[in-house]
Amino acid sequence: MTTTQQAPVGLAVPTLRRARERFLAGQPLPDGVPDEVVAAWRRARFFGVPRDLRETSAGPPPREPSALLAAARPVLERIAPALDGDGTLLLLTDERLRVLWSAGSLDGEEACADLSERAVGHNSAALALRTRRRGEVHGPEHFLDRWQEVSAVSVPVLAPDGAQALGTLTVATGMRAGCRPHPQAALVEGATAAVEAELLARAGQTERVLLDAYLRATRTPDGAVVAVLDGRNRLISAEAERVLTPEVLQALERTAVAARRGNETAEPVLPDTAACTARITQVRQDGAVVGIVAALRPLREPVRAIMPSAGLTLTGSSVAWRYAVGRAVELARTPEPLLLTGERGTGKTTLARELLAGHAVRIVDAAERVELGCPPADLVDGRALLIRHAERMAQPAVAALNSLLDTHPHMWLLVTYTPGTQPGPCLQRLLDQLGARSVTLPALRERAEDIRQLLRALTPRSAPGRPPLTWTLDALRALERYPWPGNVTELGRVVKALAEDRRVTGPVRRSELPEAVREGPAPRQLSPMEHAERVTILEALHRHGGNKTRAAAALGIGRATLYRKLRGYLG
């Protein structure tokens, strides 16, 4: 289970309904509409989701049996008979939000095949998967007309090591106006804990075999960098991360899946831009192939990939970050308009420059000049056009750019945009035009697992005679808990200040961090159910002398689940 992602509550339901209708009609919104809700509606419009959508088509189904479904089915089949007749819908999705299993019904509402925002707009499953916490979405917070009388609560199902979300579990009911937490929140969290415990019980042996293969490969004296994969899990050395691009990683994962299906001669077909070669060794357990070891060797003169291995704001191996950058690289292969959105400081401009590296580029920065700086027709001169800070452009410049796109819909254009205030009609039209080819970069708080890699990349080279900047575990935990409203840019300022102004030696301690980072976000108030669960956990720890393994067994949950609860309730 996870800590709660409280859905924003700012307006009464009737007022929020009127605000949604004004949004759909392109009219100004009233004050007080939560930013998170407006941003979700905008994403749905970017993705071209029709408000009156009735049926969804799922992407290709999983090619192999789902380990998540196998572990979850016994738990869900025990819960399903307790559902409230026609008033409750129970859903299990995979990590791509494809529905794997469903039970119950909701006023004749059939379960969608695909709950991704690109397919159906804002919903609790997409919210929970993105934030890795419990999420609730009620009535008019949804984008679709069909869900205006639906309340839903979802919880992400995490892998045994807690590093990856395998899918989500959702309960949808009729509208529960003003009722948070959702009445079925405890049911969903309890079911998720049971599924995670079952996953942990099933996971052990194969993961140990893969880990042993990884450790043996990293000890070889020939200096190869190593990645171990089975199509679902990855163990990647730090050296391998420097040469792996999203395309190479996808090729290796396809090879791992082919090997597990019995293809004895499976070899990776690496892209032309690959900066390495790969030698594959299969990993076997009881005679069956369970994964591969890929020994990677950097090329002597590596071919430059679009995504470099060591750009400051491009550093990161989290799923959210690699997906966003990989998607941008894929779209940028065609010299057509591309929109990069995200909060300030997430790396939009740096990524745009990398995508255009090696090409002639004209740059228009609206933060310095709100006009285009030349007649619009002059912008179509064979060079790529990069427009930064589109949200600051003057309306005449935006209108001119819209007209230019009308006559040159396939011009080579990259636009960076930071959501914030309500865009005017001209800017909204531009965003809608570019929405079909857009990528949203995740905020740093959504990829906190990348912070340790970013610290290494952002730390300036130390002066001669001075040791490099290192960090205590307590300081690292504080950095990972801080929400970073300024994202990577803010993190870089903190690192630079410490590197330049620090007068003591040894690892950076938590007490040296800025006060806001040191103290962390304000603790949230626990619900009565969470408070009772916290008391139960503390009592179990006390009975077992602080032994977390025994306490978890006594509580009937996995150790990884217990650790997550302790982090959520005790910090």
As a whole number, mean pLDDT of residues 446-450 equals 90
As a whole number, mean pLDDT of residues 237-256 equals 77
Torsion, CA 160, CA 162, CA 167, CA 168, rounded to 10: 110
Distances (CA, A) of 246 to 226, 306, 309, 327, 348: 16, 10, 10, 9, 18
Candidates 156, 183, 194, 1; CA nearest to 83 is 183
As a whole number, mean pLDDT of residues 513-523 equals 77
Structure tokens at 225: 């960098």
Distance CA 167, CA 511 (A): 38
Write down the H helix ranges in 11-160. 13-24, 35-46, 67-79, 117-120, 124-131
8 A C-beta contact, residue 8 and residue 139: no
Structure tokens at 313: 């704001």
pLDDT of residue 128: 94
8 A C-beta contact, residue 545 and residue 527: no
Residue 506: how many CA atoms within 13 Å on its side-chain side? 7
For tokens 């009735």, the residue is 54
Distance CA 484, CA 520 (A): 10
DSSP letter (8 states) at residue 361: E
Angle between helices 348-355 and 319-332 in degrees, nearest 10: 40
pLDDT of residue 177: 64
The three-class DSSP label of residue 508 is: strand
Distance CA 179, CA 175 (A): 9
pLDDT of residue 228: 66
pLDDT bracket for residue 183 (50, 70, 90): confident
Residue type, 175: M
One DSSP character per residue, 522-537 reads: PPPPPPHHHHHHHHHH
CB neighbours (10 Å) of residue 424?
14
As a whole number, mean pLDDT of residues 34-63 equals 79
Torsion, CA 10, CA 16, CA 20, CA 26, rounded to 10: -70
As a whole number, mean pLDDT of residues 13-38 equals 90
As a whole number, mean pLDDT of residues 533-548 equals 76
As a whole number, mean pLDDT of residues 229-256 equals 74
Q: Which of 64-73, 291-300, 371-380, 414-423 has the lowest mean pLDDT?
A: 371-380
For tokens 């040469």, the residue is 243
Distance CA 17, CA 177 (A): 12
pLDDT of residue 571: 53
Backbone phi, then psi, for 386, in 5-degree steps? -110, 120
Distance CA 458, CA 350 (A): 14
What pLDDT digit, counting tens, does each position of 81-108 carry?
Answer: 877 665 889 999 999 999 999 988 887 6
Q: What share of the chain in percent tops pLDDT 70?
A: 82
CB neighbours (10 Å) of residue 300?
5
Distance CA 548, CA 9 (A): 36
pLDDT of residue 81: 83
Candidates 311, 313, 312, 338; CA nearest to 327 is 338
Distance CA 53, CA 96 (A): 20
8 A C-beta contact, residue 267 and residue 255: yes
Asked if residue 342 has pLDDT above 90, the reply is yes
Distance CA 395, CA 397 (A): 5
Domains of the chain: 13-201 (3.30.450.40), 221-298 (no CATH), 319-433 (3.40.50.300), 445-519 (1.10.8.60), 528-569 (1.10.10.60)
Q: What share of the chain in percent tops pLDDT 90?
A: 29
8 A C-beta contact, residue 228 and residue 214: yes
First to last CA, the chain: 15
The three-class DSSP label of residue 33 is: coil
Angle at 78 between CA 73 and CA 83, to 5 degrees: 110
8 A C-beta contact, residue 92 and residue 199: no
